[in-house]
A = this chain, B = another copy of it.
Amino acid sequence: MKVLTKKTDYAIRALLMLGSKRDVYVSAKSISADQDIPYQFLRGLLQELIRHDLVVSKEGAQGGFMMKKEPDEIPIAQLIEVFQGKVQVSECMFRKQICANRARCVLRHEIMRIEEVVNREFDKVTIGKLIRDLDAANGVTHGSGEKGGS
């Protein structure tokens, strides 16, 4: 069971980069090179992010993409929803025909509880939080200026 598809993962990483370079347009080309994401695939996914109002773009030379919302306002739960659909049990099997039989209902009850737990966790992790983790890992936050290797 794969929690994140490549597309969602790529989107998160692209947003991490846009969120780190605020107020400048970053080209798909540079994101692609920096994050090692297939160029055209990235282009498509950025268009989806635009459609969902998460980023804005500027066409032409020196154009590119920029965050539209605050990084803290973008939980990865939202990105999962955009690219993989809402976290749900079993293809609306339960929601469509509630209580078609008992077993289904009992299972549904437990699974929906888990669904909530999962969503709550994914909601807690925002792009902003990830950027701060990233900065901390690189020693950016306290002006120490130096980065450790791995």
Contact = CB atoms under 8 A, between A and B. Distances in A.
How many copies of this chain sit in the oligomeric assembly? Answer: 2
A107 B13 contact: yes
Interface size class of A (residues with CB under 8 A): 35 or more
Given A106-B137, A109-B133, A90 B121 contact: no
Interface string A56-75: 00000000000000000000
A137 B108 CA distance: 13
A97 to B, nearest CB: 10
Contacts of A111: 3-4, 125
Contacts of A102: 134, 137-138
Say whether chain A's binding surface is mostly helix, strand, loop, or mixed.
helix
A90 B84 CA distance: 13
Contact of A105 (B8, B89, B104, B150): B150
A30 interface: no
Interface in A69-103: 80, 84-91, 93, 98-103
A50 to B, nearest CB: 21
Interface of A: 1-6, 8-9, 12-13, 16-17, 35-36, 80, 84-91, 93, 98-107, 109-111, 113-115, 117-118, 121-122, 125, 129-130, 133-134, 137-138, 150
